[in-house]
Amino acid sequence: MGGWNGVEVKAKTLKDDIGKLAYDLYEGTPALQNLAEELARKHGKAQALCPFIMQSENVQNFYRTIAKMLIDHSKQWEPNQGCCCTLDPRERERLANLPRV
Number of other residues whose CB lies within 10 A of the CB of residue 20: 20
What confidence score (pLDDT) does residue 48 get?
78
The answer on pLDDT for 60 being more than 50 is yes
What confidence score (pLDDT) does residue 11 get?
61
CA gap 37, 73 in Å, rounded: 28
Percentage with pLDDT > 90 across the chain? 20
Nearest to residue 14, comparing CAs of 62, 77, 79, 75?
Answer: 75
Residue range 14-76, CATH number:
1.10.10
- Find the largest Cα–Cα distance for the chain: 49
Domain ranges in the chain? 14-76
Q: 8: pLDDT confidence band, cut at 50, 70 and 90?
A: low
CA gap 37, 48 in Å, rounded: 6
Number of other residues whose CB lies within 10 A of the CB of residue 2: 14
